[in-house]
Amino acid sequence: MPVDLSGKRALVVDDYQSMRLALKERLVELGFFVVEAENGLEGLEKLKAEKFDMVFTDIVMPVMDGLELCQEIKSSSELRQTPVVVLSTHTDASYLLKAIANGADDYVPKPIEFRLLDKVIARLINA
């Protein structure tokens, strides 16, 4: 990836620790500093406390799901510029449309193909 991501901060929000770990490993390889949250509410609290360059979130989670998290981010004047990538095993068009309608900047299906993820990151970081 030609984009320099050193010094960039990413928030990974997923209720499955194994998913957070796999994504974190890849993002760290790319140069990100990564913070984890296990649901949307915890993610939102971290977003309000710290600055992030990108958010990666699952859709289906307890407490607050990823679509609600997208809505909260995009409705906040302080956070709305933060790119949000939704990651989900739900790959039908209705979920993609819901994610975009709720403010997601892009959508990557699970299991994550890192080449696709890398392209999405490069596009959003350069936007």
Give, for all 127 residues of the chain, the pLDDT tens digit.
456 788 899 999 999 999 999 999 999 999 999 999 999 999 999 999 999 999 999 998 999 999 999 999 999 999 999 999 999 887 778 888 888 999 999 999 989 999 999 999 999 987 5
Compute the distance between CA of residue 2 and CA of residue 76 in angstroms, rounded to an integer. Answer: 31
CATH code for the part of the protein at 9-126:
3.40.50.2300
**Dihedrals phi, psi of 58, to nearest 5 degrees:** -70, 165
Order the strands of the 9-13 sheet from edge to edge. Answer: 33-37, 9-13, 54-58, 84-88, 106-109
Residue 2 has a pLDDT of 53
- Taking the whole predicted model, whether its pTM rises above 0.85 is answered as yes
Residue ranges per structural domain of the chain? 9-126
